[in-house]
Each structure stands twice: as structure tokens, then as C-alpha cells.
Copies of this chain bind each other. A is one copy, B any other.
Amino acid sequence: MVATDILKDLVQKTSSRILLLVCDGLGGLPHPESGKTELETARTPNLDALAQRSNLGIAELVAPGITPGSGPGHLSIFGYDPIQYQVGRGALSAIGIGLDMTPQDVAARINFCTLDEQGRITDRRAGRIPTEESARLAALLQARVTLPGVEAIVRPEMDYRGVLLLRGEGLSDQLSDTDPQITAVPPLPVRPTAPGLDAQHTAELVNRFLDQARQVLRQERPANGVLLRGFAKYPDLPKVADRYQLKAGAVAIYPMYRGLARLVGMELLPTGKTMRDQIETVRQHWSEFDFFFVHFKYTDSAGEDGDFARKVRMIEEVDGYIPDLLALGADVFAITGDHSTPAVLKAHSWHPVPFMLHSRWVLPDEAERFTERHARRGSLGHFHMSQAMVLLLANALKLLKYGA
């Protein structure tokens, strides 16, 4: 009963346009004093008016109880079951910091760690060193490590994390982690996890990298070692052009979301630093694409910081953009999130996210507002987010009848 299997025969090119706004970490939980969520607390006259002319629903990104990372969350929104399509941690980290991976590259997540004099791990996160310190160490490694025949790219990610990307011919991602996930033991050597010369060769290269990294970081404190995990190639996902017959443009500011959009074949549109810039970018490219993905980050950032009031303000800021987004004149306009980030949890959460779908062809719900609780009662019901793209295509009249 997966609509994707029959979709390819039904999609057709039309002149209609779909606009998808993803407010990162949109869903929330009640403030302990008011009993109201961030969406319920915010003044959102524009979202509310739209809700009254739309269909609402509540969507699971992965499965009930599973907290989605940004990768699985966005893949689900783009119509890819995130359990079927798994993106390795290394690739996701590389995408997240904006590295353009080629199909030959292999990437791994780096944890900067602390080793004692015997080379045993005493802290897997090196006291959670800040990003600037990771950046300095990554630059050191980048400058001093050399591997025969391949390029080793080392970049900081956030806090104590970084990325190692190997670029060259004949590389494999079938490699074991060096992170033993416990302390008081040395990092593990990398071993090939599949037969074949490529995996063996790549393992040897990575072990050389580890030897050199140990020398380079020897005198550093507190981070004097690296742990590697999640070796991964760039995942070969089906592209939205093939799957949906869509020419899709992505307007996102942060590298992670640009990377995720590129993963499914969207074109990345250069834009500015604000939502105002993003809307202007969409407007300028309006005639060139039939699908636009617009990403708004700051609902999530405020939630992650545990700042309920700021998340409320960010939602109100989004509300202020709704008239301009509507003025673009999309045939279908949808608003949702890639996961919930309740301020009271200060983290992504497993709670399903509200979803709003507006087009000329909806039978409106009786919702008064766009909130989690209104969405739960919405006519789209409690559905899996990976089904949403089919609804958007249908409302854009881009799908033929199934069967005669």
C-alpha cells in the first residue's frame, strides 16, 4: 500500500506550482504555567486565517515515539521513508557543513577526544570543547596529514565534532568505527567490514590518518585524539525530477538543509540571510521551478535553547511572512516541520508535527487556528509524513487517475 510504487505512472508536468514551507522544529509542548504550546501561545492571525481555509493533520516523520534528526525529518517531508532511505552519519555530517560530496568520496564523523598517556580514552568528547577549538584542531590536521593517492579533508562541525572526508579512487565505506563507545580503552583500529580490496585499502589509509593525527595532536589539551564513526558514501537517492516530475528549487540558509535538498535532486538557489531574502529569491525564480522548498531555521534554534518566549516570537515572525508567501500565488501551499522541538525539552522530540495544506481544492476543516491540537483534529488525520508529497501533487492537479 505504498503510493510511491504507482506514482511514477501518474505524475505529469503541469504549469501549477507548489510552495512548501518547513519551519524547523515547529511542534511544541505546553508551557508549565499556561498549559499552552508555543503555537497556541503565539499571536498568528495570518496562519489562523489560512487554517480556516485549509486541511490540517498531524504527521509522523519516522514512526510513533521515534525522534527524528533533521536528515530523516526532511527526507520524510520530501516523500522518502526515512527507515528505507538511511543516510550514513558521515555523509550527513559532510552534507551538514556544506561539503559537496562526489560519488567516490567517503566521509566519517570525527569526535575530538581525550586520551591518557597509555592512549586510552578518558573522555569521548574532550570535555565538549567548543567549535572554535575543533576548528583550530581540524585546521592543524588538514595542514599536516598527508595520505598517498587520496585527499583528506578535515573540517569542524559543531562543538567537539568534525568531519573527515577522503577523496580519491577506489574508496569504500565498508569500515568499522574506531569509537569503542566506552572509556578506559584505546580507540579501535579501522577494519574492513566487507571483503574486497577497496575496503582493505581504505582501512589502511584511515589507519594511517589515525597514526598521523595522534602525532599532530600529541601536545594538545584537552583534545589530543580523534574517534571516527559512521563511514559513508554519498547516498544515491531517487531524485524528485524522476520521482515526481518536479523541477524543484531549494531556498535554505543553513548548509544541512541545502545538503538534504541536494540529496533528492533539488536545485540550490543562492539567497541571503533572512526569510525576507528567501521569499525574494523564490519570487525571482518563480517562473523557473514548479516546486519550492523554503526552510526557516529559527523555530528550532529557540526550542533547542529552551527559550519558549523566543520560539513564540519566531512563530509570530513566520506568521508575518504568510501574506507575502501567499502573494507568490502558489497553487498549493503547505506548512509543516521536520520534527518537534518543544522548548520545555530543549531538544528534538518524538511528537508528531502539525501539517497544513492549502489549495483551491481542499474541503476546509473546522479549525480556528494552526496549532498542534487543532492539527490533531484535522481531516488529514494522523498520517505518515512521507505521504505528504502525494497530497501536494494531487492538489496541484499533477496526478493522473489510477486505473481506468
Contact partners of A71 in chain B: CB under 8 A: 403-404
Instruction: Tell me how far the C-beta of A188 lies from the nearest C-beta in chain B, rounded to whole angstroms.
Output: 18
Known contacts A379-B58, A382-B381: does B68 contact A403 (CB below 8 Å)?
A: yes
Q: Name the segment of A133-141, A203-211, A385-393 touching the other chain.
A: A385-393
In this assembly, does A350 line the interface, its C-beta being within 8 Å of a C-beta of chain B?
Answer: yes
Contact partners of A351 in chain B: CB under 8 A: 361, 363
Q: List 21 A-B contacts (CB under 8 A).
A: A1-B63, A1-B81, A1-B384, A2-B63, A64-B383, A64-B387, A65-B390, A66-B402, A67-B402, A68-B402, A70-B403, A72-B402, A72-B403, A87-B403, A92-B404, A93-B404, A349-B394, A363-B372, A376-B379, A381-B381, A381-B382
Contact partners of A399 in chain B: CB under 8 A: 65-67, 350
Instruction: Tell me how far the C-beta of A220 lies from the nearest C-beta in chain B, rounded to whole angstroms.
Output: 25
Known contacts A5-B83, A89-B404, A401-B348: does B393 contact A65 (CB below 8 Å)?
A: yes
In this assembly, does A29 line the interface, its C-beta being within 8 Å of a C-beta of chain B?
Answer: yes
Contact partners of A404 in chain B: CB under 8 A: 69-71, 89, 92-93, 96
- Assembly CA distance A58 to B395 (angstroms): 18
In this assembly, does A303 line the interface, its C-beta being within 8 Å of a C-beta of chain B?
Answer: no
In this assembly, does A190 line the interface, its C-beta being within 8 Å of a C-beta of chain B?
Answer: no
A401:B68 contact, CB within 8 angstroms:
yes
- Assembly CA distance A5 to B69 (angstroms): 16
- Assembly CA distance A67 to B69 (angstroms): 32
Contact partners of A82 in chain B: CB under 8 A: 402-403
- Assembly CA distance A6 to B30 (angstroms): 29
Contact partners of A401 in chain B: CB under 8 A: 67-69, 347-348
Known contacts A70-B404, A83-B2: does B363 contact A29 (CB below 8 Å)?
A: yes
A361:B403 contact, CB within 8 angstroms:
no
- Assembly CA distance A83 to B8 (angstroms): 13
Contact partners of A347 in chain B: CB under 8 A: 401
Contact partners of A393 in chain B: CB under 8 A: 65
In this assembly, does A327 line the interface, its C-beta being within 8 Å of a C-beta of chain B?
Answer: no
The number of residues on chain A lying at the interface, defined by a beta carbon within 8 Å of a beta carbon of chain B, is 67
Contact partners of A10 in chain B: CB under 8 A: 66
- Assembly CA distance A6 to B348 (angstroms): 17
Contact partners of A402 in chain B: CB under 8 A: 62, 66-69, 72, 82
Which residue of chain B has its CB nearest to the CB of A349? B361
Name A286-310 residues within 8 Å CB distance of B.
none
In this assembly, does A159 line the interface, its C-beta being within 8 Å of a C-beta of chain B?
Answer: no
Contact partners of A365 in chain B: CB under 8 A: 376
Instruction: Tell me how far the C-beta of A398 lies from the nearest C-beta in chain B, rounded to whole angstroms.
Output: 10
Contact partners of A63 in chain B: CB under 8 A: 1-3, 387, 390
- Assembly CA distance A69 to B402 (angstroms): 5
Contact partners of A96 in chain B: CB under 8 A: 404
- Assembly CA distance A72 to B350 (angstroms): 27
Contact partners of A392 in chain B: CB under 8 A: 65
Give which listed residue, B3, B383, B384, contacts A66 with CB less than 8 A.
B3
In this assembly, does A143 line the interface, its C-beta being within 8 Å of a C-beta of chain B?
Answer: no
In this assembly, does A198 line the interface, its C-beta being within 8 Å of a C-beta of chain B?
Answer: no
Q: What per-residue 1/0 map shows which CB atoms of A43-62 lie under 8 Å from chain B?
A: 00000000000000010001
Additional 4 contacts, C-beta under 8 A, given A3-B62, A64-B383: A30-B363, A65-B394, A87-B403, A381-B382
B373:A366 contact, CB within 8 angstroms:
yes
